Chain A
């Protein structure tokens, strides 16, 4: 029987594969793309694309091999770590870039900061909340890990 987390990370992995492939492609060709709250633009797109694509591949591979296996759970956790690094540093860069606030303003107002931190976001940032499920693998108890579904 398929575990719910295998289904979850399988579907999530597919989406990440798609987003990463588009990022990589646009990084090579120099294009941009925006849909709803997601934007694929900016510098070093190809590198971000490689990371998102790889994280998606790790999720898919682990889900296909079965998440009963502790090593497959570690693979999922590693893919999540990669997204935390890329999404986290992208958020940090946006925040630190907005704080100085421009000429004659030493610290930007809360409204300006909120505006700077608003959407659209890169795929890695959008993926961040959905990766938190991987944290459940750090508490090892097979009985509690999503049997059924």
Chain B
């Protein structure tokens, strides 16, 4: 009788016989990395450790990205590139000057809002360092074997919204900047999961810059606002999980041993991902700025401000003065929050307006990333239509609910 004709039971007996002949057993003392590896997936010890790792990840990301952006690219673009371009570029006052250079009186590259000023600054000065820091820290975590453990630890929580444990990485990164967060959704398996995560990140997760401004201007409300947004993240995640067609595969992940990351592995991953991102993302950000400028030139933004004014004030109970800040939120949410501080708002109106700015349209760089990543998953049209539909629903339902809470507490008008 040949092995192929054996029934399953006989095959297992054969396997046992081979194992008995070839495998030697003995007691071995587990190593510290092996024991720590086990502790990292046990909730009581693993969750505090995850808090430490996520804090470290966020801190590292902020430090490295801030070092390049605030330390070098801001002065380089604001003090050298912008003044030179404003003087050297001909045809001041023309539509071409407005699209490419932007405001001739601007003193910072962000305010100028031309393709070659704000566009280039955002792409190279803001997004590039952020992506570098993101890919570096993710490569280190992957190579250390911890990322798989984090995914296993948080899998149950994210399964409630059709995602899996790897979703924690883009979520945490989005608290630094939504752009690498959206890029980080590549860790998710299905198109449905990527779409749901991209949408939730761009709608409910405030970026580090916005958080910084919130903490400095309204520290007493920031915690409540964050809690409300996180609640919205999971409520709308659960709804999207039921509404969006597609699969949400179970997390089946091989857990490698915890080990010291190898610099050559990390460098190779970083180099491949960084080059790939840089070649494709920069044009998206540049054209995103160009398209907004065209919308400004054609009066579309102004029309939107006028049309949305009564709706926003009527539904959300905030004064019409907040409309320009909401429009500014599309360019940069932290500045939009700062703009609110100049308007005389009641505490509740402040909380309401900041929540609206957070939920309201993603900033231009995130919008460009949604287009880019959407193209690689469910398609640009479906991604944008789905994300916009969700943000409109979230804005009106979640924002309206907050107003109801305010009315119930007697603090909303």
* A92 adjacent to B60 (CB under 8 Å): yes
A85-B52, A86-B52, A100-B67 given; A74·B59 CB < 8 A: no
Interface string of A50-79 (1 = CB under 8 A from B): 110011011000000000001101110110
Instruction: Write the chain A residue with the least CB distance to B58.
Output: A44
In residues 66-84 of chain B, which contact A (Cβ within 8 Å)?
Answer: 66-67, 70-72, 75, 79
Q: Are B55 and A70 in contact (CB under 8 A)?
A: no
- CB pair A50 B66 closer than 8 Å: no
Contact of B56 among A43, A55, A74, A88 (CB under 8 A): A88
Q: Counting CB contacts under 8 A, is B227 at the interface?
A: no
Q: Contact between B45 and A86 (Cβ–Cβ < 8 Å)?
A: no
With CB as the reference atom, state the residue of chain A lying closest to B219.
A30
**Shortest Cβ distance from residue A73 to the other chain B in the assembled complex, whole angstroms:** 7
A57 contact set on B, CB distance < 8 A: 48
Is A90 an interface residue when CB atoms closer than 8 A count as contact?
yes
Bound-complex Cα distance A89 to B66 (A): 13
Considering the complex, give the chain A residue whose CB is closest to the CB of B60.
A89
Beyond A58-B45, A82-B48, is A93–B63 a contact (Cβ under 8 Å)?
yes
Our pick among B30, B59, B212, B220 for the contact of A30 (Cβ within 8 Å) is: B220
Evaluate contact between B48 and A54: CB separation under 8 angstroms: yes
How many angstroms between the C-alpha atoms of A128 and B56 in the bound complex?
A: 15
Most-contacted residue by chain A among B59, B72, B219, B220 (CB, 10 A): B59
A90 to B62 CA separation, bound complex (whole angstroms): 11
The reply on A103 being an interface residue by CB < 8 A is yes
B225 CB, nearest partner CB in chain A, Å: 14
Instruction: Tell me if A51 and B55 are in contact (CB < 8 A).
Output: yes
Contact of A70 with B66 in the complex, beta carbons under 8 Å: no
Interface range for B: 20 to 34
CB pair A43–B215 under 8 Å, yes or no, is yes
Query: Is there an interface contact between B67 and A73, defined as CB atoms closer than 8 Å?
Result: no
Contacting A at CB under 8 A, from B30-64, are: 30-32, 35-36, 38-40, 45, 48-49, 51-53, 55-56, 59-60, 62-64
B49 with A89: CB separation less than 8 A? no
From A74, A96, A137, give the contact of B63 (CB < 8 A).
Answer: A96
The reply to whether the CB of B29 lies closer than 8 angstroms to some CB of chain A is yes
- Complex interface residues of chain A between 86 and 113 (CB less than 8 A to chain B): 86, 88-90, 92-93, 96-97, 99-100, 103-104, 106
CB distance from A142 to the nearest CB of B (A): 10
A99 touches B71 (CB 8 A): yes
A140 contacts partner chain B, Cβ-Cβ < 8 Å: yes
A86 adjacent to B63 (CB under 8 Å): no
- Residue A138 at the chain B interface, CB threshold 8 Å: yes
Q: When the two chains form their complex, are residues B63 and A89 in contact, meaning their CB atoms are under 8 A apart?
A: yes
In the bound complex, what is the Cα–Cα distance between A57 and B49 (angstroms)? 12
Closest to A135 in B: B32
CB atoms of A93 and B59 under 8 A apart? yes
A48 cross-chain contacts in B, Cβ below 8 A:
55
A100 partner residues in chain B, CB cutoff 8 A = 67, 70-72
**A99 engages B67 (CB within 8 Å):** yes
Q: Are A97 and B63 in contact (CB under 8 A)?
A: yes
Asked if residues B66 and A74 are in contact (CB atoms below 8 Å), the reply is: no
Q: Are A50 and B32 in contact (CB under 8 A)?
A: no
Which residues from A are CB-within-8-Å of B49?
Answer: 54, 78, 81-82
Question: Which A residue's beta carbon lies closest to that of B55?
Answer: A47
| Cα of A138 to Cα of B36 in the assembled complex, Å | 11
The closest CB in chain B to the CB of A140 belongs to B29
Are A78 and B56 interface neighbours, CB within 8 A? no
User: Is there an interface contact between A137 and B32, defined as CB atoms closer than 8 Å?
Assistant: yes
CA distance A44 to B219 in the complex (A): 11
Residues of A within 8 A of B35 (CB): 70-71, 73-74
What does the 1/0 interface line of B164-175 toward A look like (CB < 8 Å)? 000000000000
Q: Which residues of A contact B79 (CB under 8 A)?
A: 103
**A78-B39, A96-B64 known; A51 and B30 CB under 8 Å?**
no
| A residues lining the B interface (CB < 8 Å) | 28, 30, 43-44, 47-48, 50-51, 54-55, 57-58, 70-71, 73-75, 77-78, 81-82, 85-86, 88-90, 92-93, 96-97, 99-100, 103-104, 106, 137-138, 140
A–B Cβ pairs within 8 angstroms, 17 of them: A43-B215, A48-B55, A50-B51, A51-B48, A57-B48, A75-B39, A81-B36, A82-B52, A85-B55, A86-B59, A90-B59, A93-B63, A96-B64, A96-B67, A96-B71, A97-B71, A100-B70
**Closest CB pairs A-B (n = 6):** A100-B71, A74-B35, A54-B48, A93-B63, A82-B52, A89-B59
Task: Given contact pairs A55-B52, A73-B32, A78-B40, enumerate 19 new A-B contacts (beta carbons under 8 Å).
Answer: A47-B51, A50-B51, A51-B48, A54-B51, A55-B48, A71-B35, A73-B35, A74-B35, A81-B52, A85-B55, A85-B56, A89-B59, A93-B59, A96-B63, A97-B63, A97-B67, A100-B71, A140-B29, A140-B31
